[in-house]
Chains A and B, each alone.
Chain A
């Protein structure tokens, strides 16, 4: 069979295609079709010749097989130091082989590549900081994912996810009406406790344009309300766009570069349209990487920068606490031992480690670093889309043990997790391994601690 009905080389760009995929329980038919999917070896080689350029080729060739990357990889550590989990081996046995064989690989091999690219690497880029040559297996696996995607070898959930972006410009099926209505709804629900609370939609020339993760309006709109309340307390002049509010990119996890471009362009268009001074994104790691770090390149912006200055939520919180826009009631600081999960995408890859520490210095009395921490911290275990792929649940759960042991060693029972993927991974590790911890985003913690100016309190009649 050259191509399957569900598993094929086409992108998902209509609701019909999307619904057909969604109706396939756990991707059963999809993965079955994948075993018979033809590999277009010529097209694969043509793509490689066109896109696998000097940096990647050099990296493949200069790897000295020294093994320095081995211990840097949490998946290698979690799997009892299985040599097949050494990053260098993982990339040489996949991309290295495809290049060596000039693209002449078969279906079984491509499935091996897919399983390696999504279940054995979360693209956390930690190995790159330990390789003496600076070879970044995370970047290379990002590239491999793109190859896999364009040839139809992509995990079912991510095929769906990238399709959502193409159809809805969001990772979930949320229309503009749904989104705007959710903003109104949250104001209705909270304005009694917070008189004057607003979620201004499409306000021009605001100081801040706020963007979110689609799962917030879809399932957890309180998160949006909490953001609004904190902006309200801080006295910010802010807005959300009616379109271009979604900052995440499952397309990036999937390697669907076309959808990546469409998605970030929708956010950049909102910036151009509303002319805010700067952008702040919610507590999400990969969203920041996609829209702030990688997005400008996908969109072909020469400067490599977003149209306006863009900030992660931790940068805004740190600034608000530093400048006194938000004041912490000293009596309400976190007293118990607390640790912080460094999200790879905005700490290691975005360099925001200092902001996280600054925040903790204001809100916690007994802050305990994980070892290693900051840029050297390990992935939560669920990054790069791994949390969401049913096919690799077992592998994901093995990987979680590294984070589990790091948390246990701190002695903290509370983990601050300002990233949706980290939040999920840490919740799941508690469910699987039951170590008795709690975890939280920053917003609810801050709301429990900030001093509320008298004039913002509701008046009791």
Chain B
């Protein structure tokens, strides 16, 4: 299921938890792991200067510098590299999200693993360069393959996952997320929790929905899950359906905690992103920043179908 994995890292402690997952996947799934670091943001006009992603310092770029950064990556991942059998290290210059997407497309990878930028200064730094929005968000929106975001220690090996939560809002992108989650659940024999949260704040602002209306919407959601998703599972019966009402990201997090989820899978809404609000705006961001387990964002059908 994962033959080529791209681990996009800042080469800083922010990605340590993601690194462990990435190297673990490489071994357990016999995958090829590409450890990939974008080291410097270039200017718009002509210049040989770049801004180092980690330090924010202006650096003059030449082959030596790139080599030096690659050496540093070896040192950073020294322990993990000891057991690694099939991994490569690469440092490149560019705008991080752009180069990650370029690499993923070129190598036709099956998944991208990233750390979440939980540190304020990371997000601030990218905004400051007038590159609005975070790298993670832009990669998650545009990547053709699933993007796994790991912000906290993931103690369970993927092969031993027992609970996977798929959150759907019934969009086309959500359908891809469901197919991928179902495939993974079958593969590792985990219980699949198909979940939908009715957003009680959606619709007219300030309007308070009555209980019967909310219940109506919940029943409608259940019905849609029955017709859209259950038939797709065929003979796989290790699943359950959950619905809640409230603010979606809160309900997703609560549900995941209740079910002791090892992984949350969801689609990254393409339409709800207003770049100015995006840093705190979308449900995915909120879930990623607060979730105890890794979160996978799936938006495209490319890497989810059975081979």
**With A157-B46, A387-B45, A387-B46: A427-B129 Cβ-Cβ less than 8 Å:** yes
Q: Are A215 and B98 in contact (CB under 8 A)?
A: no
- The stretch of A7-15, A23-31, A103-111, A119-127 in contact with B is A23-31
Which of B46, B62, B65, B130 has the most chain A CB atoms closer than 10 A to its own CB? B46
Partner among A192, A219, A420 whose Cβ is within 8 Å of the Cβ of B270:
A192
* Complex Cα–Cα for A461 and B271 (A): 14
* Complex Cα–Cα for A420 and B46 (A): 8
Interface of chain A, helix or strand or loop or mixed? helix
* Complex Cα–Cα for A424 and B275 (A): 21
Q: Which residues of B contact A304 (CB under 8 A)?
A: none
Q: Are A161 and B142 in contact (CB under 8 A)?
A: no
Partner among A220, A382, A448 whose Cβ is within 8 Å of the Cβ of B98:
A220
Q: Which residues of A contact B62 (CB under 8 A)?
A: 22-26
Minimum CB distance partner of A432 in chain B: B58
Q: Are A390 and B49 in contact (CB under 8 A)?
A: yes
The contact string, 1 if C-beta is below 8 Å from chain B, for chain A 389-402, is 01000000000000
* Complex Cα–Cα for A382 and B171 (A): 47
Q: Are B130 and A440 in contact (CB under 8 A)?
A: yes
* Complex Cα–Cα for A161 and B65 (A): 20
Q: Decide if B247 is an interface residue (CB 8 Å cutoff).
A: no
Partner among B63, B95, B271 whose Cβ is within 8 Å of the Cβ of A219:
B95
Q: Which residues of B contact A25 (CB under 8 A)?
A: 60, 62, 64-65
Minimum CB distance partner of A189 in chain B: B142
Taking A193-B271, A388-B48 as given, write out 20 further A-B residue pairs in contact, using a Cβ cutoff of 8 Å, ordered by the A residue number. A23-B63, A23-B64, A26-B60, A157-B46, A157-B47, A171-B46, A185-B102, A215-B43, A215-B44, A215-B45, A215-B46, A220-B98, A250-B46, A253-B46, A388-B49, A390-B48, A390-B60, A420-B44, A440-B130, A460-B172
Minimum CB distance partner of A182 in chain B: B102
Q: Are A161 and B60 in contact (CB under 8 A)?
A: no
For the complex, count residues of A whose C-beta is within 8 A of B: 41
Minimum CB distance partner of A160 in chain B: B48
Minimum CB distance partner of A250 in chain B: B46
Q: Decide if A423 is an interface residue (CB 8 Å cutoff).
A: yes
* Complex Cα–Cα for A438 and B142 (A): 25
Q: Decide if B124 is an interface residue (CB 8 Å cutoff).
A: no
The contact string, 1 if C-beta is below 8 Å from chain B, for chain A 421-434, is 10111010000000
* Complex Cα–Cα for A248 and B144 (A): 33
Q: Decide if A307 is an interface residue (CB 8 Å cutoff).
A: no
Q: Decide if B101 is an interface residue (CB 8 Å cutoff).
A: yes
Interface residues of A in 1-44 (CB under 8 A from B): 22-26
Could you write out 27 A-B pairs with CB less than 8 Å apart? A22-B63, A23-B63, A23-B64, A157-B47, A189-B101, A192-B300, A215-B46, A219-B94, A219-B98, A220-B44, A222-B98, A248-B46, A250-B46, A253-B46, A382-B45, A385-B46, A387-B46, A387-B47, A388-B46, A390-B49, A390-B60, A420-B45, A421-B45, A424-B44, A424-B45, A425-B45, A438-B130
Partner among B48, B95, B130 whose Cβ is within 8 Å of the Cβ of A439:
B130
Q: Decide if B42 is an interface residue (CB 8 Å cutoff).
A: yes
Chain B nearest Cβ from A168, distance in angstroms: 14
Q: Which residues of A contact B172 (CB under 8 A)?
A: 460-461
Which of B43, B64, B171, B270 has the most chain A CB atoms closer than 10 A to its own CB? B43
Q: Decide if A221 is an interface residue (CB 8 Å cutoff).
A: yes
Minimum CB distance partner of B47 in chain A: A388
Q: Which residues of A contact B95 (CB under 8 A)?
A: 219-220
* Complex Cα–Cα for A23 and B63 (A): 6
Q: Are A423 and B98 in contact (CB under 8 A)?
A: no
Minimum CB distance partner of B46 in chain A: A388
* Complex Cα–Cα for A160 and B65 (A): 18
Interface of chain B, helix or strand or loop or mixed? loop
Chain A nearest Cβ from B141, distance in angstroms: 9
* Complex Cα–Cα for A301 and B208 (A): 71
Q: Decide if B105 is an interface residue (CB 8 Å cutoff).
A: yes
Chain A nearest Cβ from B149, distance in angstroms: 20
Q: Are A185 and B47 in contact (CB under 8 A)?
A: no
Q: Which residues of A contact B45 (CB under 8 A)?
A: 215, 382, 387-388, 420-421, 423-425
Chain B nearest Cβ from A343, distance in angstroms: 11
Chain B nearest Cβ from A131, distance in angstroms: 28
Chain B nearest Cβ from A386, distance in angstroms: 10
Q: Which residues of A contact B171 (CB under 8 A)?
A: 460
* Complex Cα–Cα for A192 and B95 (A): 23
Q: Which residues of A contact B101 (CB under 8 A)?
A: 189
Minimum CB distance partner of B300 in chain A: A192
Q: Which residues of B contact A382 (CB under 8 A)?
A: 45
* Complex Cα–Cα for A427 and B48 (A): 16
Q: Which residues of B contact A425 (CB under 8 A)?
A: 45
Interface residues of B in 31-68 (CB under 8 A from A): 42-49, 60, 62-65
Minimum CB distance partner of B51 in chain A: A431
The contact string, 1 if C-beta is below 8 Å from chain A, for chain B 262-287, is 00000000110001000000000000
Partner among B43, B105, B271 whose Cβ is within 8 Å of the Cβ of A424:
B43
* Complex Cα–Cα for A420 and B98 (A): 19
The contact string, 1 if C-beta is below 8 Å from chain B, for chain A 226-267, is 000000000000000000000010100100000000000000
* Complex Cα–Cα for A22 and B130 (A): 28
* Complex Cα–Cα for A423 and B129 (A): 11
Q: Which residues of B contact A423 (CB under 8 A)?
A: 44-45
Chain A nearest Cβ from B58, distance in angstroms: 8
Q: Are B130 and A427 in contact (CB under 8 A)?
A: yes
Q: Which residues of A contact B64 (CB under 8 A)?
A: 23, 25
Chain B nearest Cβ from A268, distance in angstroms: 22
Chain B nearest Cβ from A65, distance in angstroms: 35
Chain B nearest Cβ from A190, distance in angstroms: 9
The contact string, 1 if C-beta is below 8 Å from chain A, for chain B 105-119, is 100000000000000
* Complex Cα–Cα for A23 and B45 (A): 21
* Complex Cα–Cα for A339 and B46 (A): 24
* Complex Cα–Cα for A446 and B111 (A): 34
Which of B48, B64, B102, B300 has the most chain A CB atoms closer than 10 A to its own CB? B48
The contact string, 1 if C-beta is below 8 Å from chain B, for chain A 148-178, is 0000000001001100000000010000000
Q: Which residues of B contact A439 (CB under 8 A)?
A: 130
Q: Are A387 and B43 in contact (CB under 8 A)?
A: yes
Interface residues of A in 64-100 (CB under 8 A from B): none
The contact string, 1 if C-beta is below 8 Å from chain A, for chain B 79-103, is 0000000000000001100100110
Chain A nearest Cβ from B144, distance in angstroms: 8
* Complex Cα–Cα for A171 and B48 (A): 12
* Complex Cα–Cα for A421 and B46 (A): 7
* Complex Cα–Cα for A290 and B172 (A): 47
Chain A nearest Cβ from B275, distance in angstroms: 8
* Complex Cα–Cα for A458 and B63 (A): 44
Q: Are B94 and A157 in contact (CB under 8 A)?
A: no
